[in-house]
A and B are shown apart, each in its own frame.
Chain A
Amino acid sequence: MRIRTSHIGLAAYLIFLILPLYWMINLSLQPNHEILGSFSLYPERYTFQNYITLVTDASWYGSYLNSITYVLLNMAISLTVALPAAYAFSRFSFLGDKHLFFWLLTNRMAPPAVFLLPFFQLYQNIGLYDTHLAVALAHALFNVPLAIWILEGFMRGIPKEIDETAYIDGYSFSRFFVTIFIPLIRGGIGVTAFFVFVFSWVELLLARTLTATNARPFSVTMTQTISATGIDWGLLAAAGVVTMIPGAVVIWFVRNNLARGLSLGRV
């Protein structure tokens, strides 16, 4: 293949994307005194000590599990309520449907900072403060609309003759929905689940505000690596690296539908 300017440009961009990540991995494999002591482009004496700390220290792995827990909980809530709603929007016209659809969008767009205070007070009042459920419900703010928008985009692609045929064949709505329709759009559900997962996983502000100790997310633990002796850079880098794992593990499966998810199902 001929090397063209565009290939060089693409390569340069990919290097630009990878360099900060490489650097994080590089630092994560060095002990802190070595990081501060000498500058090196690659770990000369690499150590997994930072990672061992992450998996043995309860405050680290505990908060990692916290994050996973509320993210999965949010995924379950979002998909459960979004599936029927997306179906309704994709198939029926009903009173106020357009306004409702727009209102959903505004929730996806709303800055979480706006909801910070009221969330804090609401969850304190109903006794959910510092629980996984609180974060999961708060993240529903943007993830339910996101899931409805993406799923609606996928569902519109399924001809409604399929629904009609099923009803003629005597299927009830719930049986049709579960045994026929959901399998038909399982690709779309997979993509939606991926994005719901990712957007809950990457959020910090709400998760931090709604938790204290019991449900503290991993990213908050990361902001607390500053101790009396200064910041443990190696440990911080290692923590950063492990937050990349969930996304990196599943992205391969949805790589061809990334654009669809990112554009709220509108590509």
Chain B
Amino acid sequence: MEKIQNQKAWFLVLPALAVLFIFSAVIPLMTVVNYSVQDIFGQDYANAFFVGTEWFRDTIRDPELQAAFGRQLAFSVITLLIQIPLGVAIALAMPTRGIMVSVALVLVSLPLLIPWNVVGTGWLLFTRPDIGLLGVALNELGLDYNIQRNPVDAWLTVLVMDVWHWTSLTVLLAYAGLRAIPGAYYQAARVDGASRWAIFRYVELPRMRGVLLIAILLRFMDSFKLYAEPFVLTGGGPGTTTTFLSQYLATIGVGQFDLGRAAAFSLVYFLFILALSWLFYTVITRMDRE
């Protein structure tokens, strides 16, 4: 749609900006910038002194942070590699007609509507070796499954939990993409003698490209914010095996009140997300134009 040039439109945007500026984004972010270049002892803000980029150097060299970042990246990539194909497969299997459509949609959406910490709680209840269905079942099968003790178990459980929690997003997006394909495409493909695979490869996948890009970018970014679920399920352990970026940040920030380090870390973290957002935005605006 051709838009009208009108600077007065700013007035319409103003209330939203005011809220975000003051309470949510800009002023708080400025505080972070401010802390990131100062050394503050305890909470004695008056005697803070300027330390330049020292915190940033510290942050980047911090081996624990590097480890957390590595874990985070590995986690995000793996969970995406599972969720996207699985989500597409489920979307392809979803019913297309009748009341079952609504029932399946609602069931699939359920995990998305549960508070994130409750997702952790639910999985804690589900996987405990003494009272959890999965925990008990696996131990009955002779596996020594215990997420409090065994890092591999903890890691895999957090991964499965994330798949449980978020695959539905890909399912819903891919399903919407599939529903938007006109019937003529399928009819033509059938007349052309295309196999089921060829229909998927040449009709469905290209037409889902847009929604899948959105799904990948959103899931990648959101998985970088992962916090509450592993916090409740494993507390980041055993050791630090399931401590991801947000939890590490929360630990040094609110936990240890290490303001400078937390602030520098926040900014690096934020810039990383910013770069991803930029990618997302570029893709979206290009799609909107098409």
Q: Indicate if A touches B (C-beta under 8 A).
A: yes
Stretch at the interface among A44-52, A54-62, A178-186, A256-264: A256-264
- Provide the main secondary structure of the chain B interface: helix
Within the complex, the shortest CB–CB distance from A231 to chain B, in Å, comes to: 9
What is the 8 Å Cβ interface bit string for chain B, positions 172-189, against chain A (1 contact, 0 not)? Answer: 110111001000000000
Tell me, in angstroms, the Cα distance from A120 to B4 when the chains sit together.
Answer: 41
Tell me, in angstroms, the Cα distance from A252 to B174 when the chains sit together.
Answer: 19
Q: With A160-B1, A223-B117, A247-B114 given, is the CB distance from A81 to B15 under 8 Å?
A: yes
Within the complex, the shortest CB–CB distance from B108 to chain A, in Å, comes to: 7
In the complex formed, the residue of B with least CB distance to A252 is B106
Within the complex, the shortest CB–CB distance from A138 to chain B, in Å, comes to: 7
B118 with A39: CB separation less than 8 A: no
Count the A residues whose beta carbon is within 8 Å of the partner chain — how many? 101
B32 with A114: CB separation less than 8 A: yes
Those of A1-38 within 8 Å (CB) of chain B: 6-7, 9-10, 13-14, 16-21, 23-24, 26-27, 35-36
Q: Is A119 part of the contact surface with B, judged by Cβ < 8 Å?
A: yes
In the complex formed, the residue of B with least CB distance to A149 is B284
Q: Is A137 part of the contact surface with B, judged by Cβ < 8 Å?
A: yes
Q: With A14-B107, A109-B221 given, is the CB distance from A88 to B29 under 8 Å?
A: no
Q: With A114-B266, A202-B116, A219-B117 given, is the CB distance from A94 to B10 under 8 Å?
A: yes
A204 with B116: CB separation less than 8 A: yes
Across the interface, B126 reaches (CB within 8 A) one of A20, A107, A121, A141, namely A20
In the complex formed, the residue of A with least CB distance to B89 is A9
What is the 8 Å Cβ interface bit string for chain B, positions 17-37, against chain A (1 contact, 0 not)? Answer: 111100111011101100100
Contacting residues, chain B, for A93 (C-beta < 8 A): 3-6, 9
Q: Is A127 part of the contact surface with B, judged by Cβ < 8 Å?
A: no
Q: Is A168 part of the contact surface with B, judged by Cβ < 8 Å?
A: no
Contacting residues, chain B, for A9 (C-beta < 8 A): 89-90, 93
* A-B contact number at CB 8 A: 313
Q: With A6-B92, A119-B28, A259-B175 given, is the CB distance from A244 to B114 under 8 Å?
A: yes
Q: Is B46 part of the contact surface with A, judged by Cβ < 8 Å?
A: no
Contacting residues, chain B, for A82 (C-beta < 8 A): 16
A266 with B214: CB separation less than 8 A: yes
B225 with A120: CB separation less than 8 A: no
Tell me, in angstroms, the Cα distance from A20 to B120 when the chains sit together.
Answer: 11
Contacting residues, chain B, for A159 (C-beta < 8 A): 1
Across the interface, B106 reaches (CB within 8 A) one of A24, A116, A251, namely A251
Tell me, in angstroms, the Cα distance from A207 to B27 when the chains sit together.
Answer: 19
Across the interface, B254 reaches (CB within 8 A) one of A94, A106, A116, A240, namely A116
In the complex formed, the residue of B with least CB distance to A225 is B121
A240 with B125: CB separation less than 8 A: yes
Which residues in B have some Cβ–Cβ distance to A below 8 Å?
Answer: 1, 3-10, 12-13, 15-20, 23-25, 27-29, 31-32, 35, 86, 89-90, 92-94, 102, 104-118, 121-123, 125-126, 130-134, 136, 164, 167-169, 172-173, 175-177, 180, 210-211, 214-215, 218, 221-222, 224-225, 227-228, 232, 245-247, 249-250, 253-254, 259, 262-263, 266-267, 269-270, 273-274, 276-278, 280-281, 284-285, 287-288
15 example contacts (A-B, Cβ-Cβ < 8 A) are as follows: A14-B104, A17-B168, A23-B125, A23-B126, A24-B121, A93-B9, A97-B9, A115-B25, A115-B29, A122-B23, A140-B24, A223-B117, A233-B131, A237-B125, A251-B110
